[in-house]
Structure 1
């Protein structure tokens, strides 16, 4: 009996690898002779780097870069086991975890450190980059990232722009003659399921700005600055990125990539499926166990359990897909039309959130539920 074990992380509790191991232990108590294939998964968001490093036998690389406030921060990214693919979560350098209620300021926050992480990955010889867009403290349209890569964003007097989205209102010209030449040799895949454009009511500033500390006045100022930025990009590079789906991801970082690199926007879980080799590893599987911290009707929109289910059933049509979750929410019946065959909550009874997410308790709950599910496997 071949069983694929491909969970996402259980946020705040277990990494994807730890979750997979807990599931494996439970399965083997019920099916001692089973062939268990563990593939830690992610959907392009938080935890993607660790999941892909774990799944491919890669390693974590640390670097000192510029944080969103302009001060030095320690960040990390992954080099996968193939030796030539790098994985970066932009939040590792430019994330909201580096600011608090007193210091957050989307007018001046920068993605410069995300560009520096890319340069460090170039120095390590990568020819492919997977970049997770999400969790940003920034609203600069990827201007800081572009500056780190050598793009010169200049005001009317020929001076480099200051950090942040507000400074884009002063942009007069763009000089790409000093951009790092290695960019032309790198394949960049952007992992994001955000489809928002750069500007407008569904754009980066209006939708995501308030959670980064933007007041209504700041939102209008930032949106106008990004619209001006998009116009100059269009005039100077010939690329019209303003209304492209995903341009508004990570405070407009999506637009920066689409403007200054040859990056391609892709589904996060789809990228992880490819990078881990999930499909080839699932050939011949009779069962697959996936899961994550919470499952509800939103899971069908680019989340790991449905992504895993659909990928596995492409190569193992009769494989039974079981999903495990710490919290089972509303609308899960919709998921049965998306490839999942059964969904189980792992909590044994009423408890506090603090109790439920302790690693020891989560491991025990996940392992026990996996064992119970596996007792039905024949």
Structure 2
């Protein structure tokens, strides 16, 4: 029996590799003679760098950047392909997991650190930059990122905006005179964890703003700012990407990367499938186990486990696909219709979040063992 274990991370709790290890331990209790292949995945969000670098030749470089609240923080850049490719993970600069929930504020959160990461990558003389844009605390449409790379945002009074205080509603023009043009010599690949557009009820603000700290009264303010920024950008660049799938990823980072960087956007999990040669691995596999911290209605917008399972079923319709999640949302019928054979919850007993998090590894192992027992009696 060949079993592929390819989970995403359980955010703030376990890395994708630790989740995979826990699942394998549970299955080994029942199927100790199976062939196991562990593939920690990510979809462009948190964990993308480590997942792409796992079992790959290359190196990881430490840099200093600003986080979403413009505080100094440590981040990393991956270098692969004999120094030709850099991997940048936006979540390492302005990730939502780095900010205490009480301090989340998308009106002030900045993508400036993402621009710093890209600037560092440009100085490494690579030919390609892969930019994961998911799991950010930001909703600034990449405005902070542009400033870090030399752009000037001018307000309606004709004054340049300080990178510490950007109001998308006040932007009247953008000056690219000092923008780092070396970016145009590189192949830019955007790994998006979702396929949402920039604007509208399914856009960046209304879909993901609440989890970034946006209350109902400020959602219209954020959306208006996004619309203003996209209008100014479209007029300047003679492009229109606000409806493009994935332009709403990373709080609008996808939009600016498409508009100002001539980037190519692709699903993060699609990139992972390609990089890890998953098509070949699932071709003759019996079971595929994936998962993430929460599987819910947002999963169908391009999240890793969903994309992975759909692709696996196309390659190998007979493969059994199982999802393991810290918690489950409602309306999962579409997941079952699109490839999942079963999805399981790993919270075994009620408790405080801290207690549940401490037991996550053991709970995943127990649930995995129980799944394996069920499969053995099929």
Aligning the two structures, in what range does the TM-score lie when normalised by the shorter sequence?
A: 0.7 to 0.9
**TM-score for the superposition, normalised by structure 1:** 0.82
1:301-336 deviation line (CA, Å, top 9, x unaligned): 423333222222333332222333344554445433
After superposition, where does 1:150-189 map in structure 2 within 5 Å? 150-154=150-154, 160-163=160-163, 164-166=165-167, 169-176=170-177, 178-189=179-190
Instruction: Report how far residue 240 of structure 1 moved.
Output: 2.3
Cα shift at 1:370: 5.2
Number of the residue aligned with 1:121: 121
CA distance in 1, matches of 2:253, 2:3: 39
Q: How does 1:260-279 map to 2 (within 5 A)?
A: 260-279=260-279
CA distance in 1, matches of 2:219, 2:323: 40
Cα drift, residue 39 of structure 1: 0.9
Confirm or deny: 8 A CA contact 1:174 1:236 kept in the other structure.
no
The equivalent residue for 1:308 is 308
Q: Secondary structure at the match of 1:239?
A: coil
Question: Which aligned pairs between 1:1-378 and structure 2 lie closer than 5 A?
Answer: 1-54=1-54, 56=56, 59-79=59-79, 84-97=84-97, 106-154=106-154, 160-163=160-163, 164-166=165-167, 169-176=170-177, 178-198=179-199, 204=204, 212=212, 222-296=222-296, 298-346=298-346, 349-352=348-351, 353-357=353-357, 358-369=359-370, 371-373=372-374, 375-376=376-377
Task: Give the Cα separation in 1 of the matches to 2:218 and 2:26.
Answer: 51
Per-residue CA deviation, residues 44-65 of structure 1 (Å, 9 max, x unaligned), is 3223333333354655432111
Number of paired residues? 375
CA distance in 1, matches of 2:303, 2:227: 31
The CA deviation at 1:114 is: 0.3
Structure 1 residues 225, 79: CA separation in 2 closer, same or farther (over 3 Å shift)?
same
Q: Is the 8 A contact 1:69 1:110 kept in 2?
A: yes
Q: Measured at CA, do residues 306 and 71 of structure 1 come closer, stay the same or move farther in structure 2, by a change above 3 Å?
A: closer
Cα RMSD (Å) of the superposition? 3.5
Please give the per-residue CA displacement for 1:196-231, whole angstroms capped at 9, x wherever unaligned.
324x66655566556655677765555444444333
Contact 1:138 1:250 in 2 (8 A): yes
More displaced, 84-93 or 291-300?
Answer: 291-300
**Are residues 128 and 297 of structure 1, via their aligned partners in 2, closer, same or farther at CA, if it must alter by over 3 Å?**
same
The 1-side partners of 2:202 and 2:305 are apart by 27
After superposition, the Cα gap between the structure-2 partners of 1:343 and 1:80, relative to the gap in structure 1 and judged at 3 Å, is: farther
User: Does the CA-based 8 Å contact 2:346-2:364 persist in structure 1?
Assistant: no
Q: Is the 8 A contact 1:171 1:232 kept in 2?
A: yes
Aligned with 1:14: secondary structure?
A: coil
CA contact (8 A) 1:355 1:361 kept: no
Distance 1:354 1:134 in 2: 24
Give secondary structure in 1 for the equivalent of 2:120.
helix
CA distance in 2, matches of 1:324, 1:217: 35
Pairwise CA distance, 1:117 = 0.6
Alpha-carbon contact 1:323-1:340 (below 8 Å) kept = yes
Question: Taking structure 1 as reference, are residues 283 and 245 closer, same or farther at Cα in structure 2, changes over 3 Å only?
Answer: closer
Q: CA deviation at 1:100?
A: 5.5
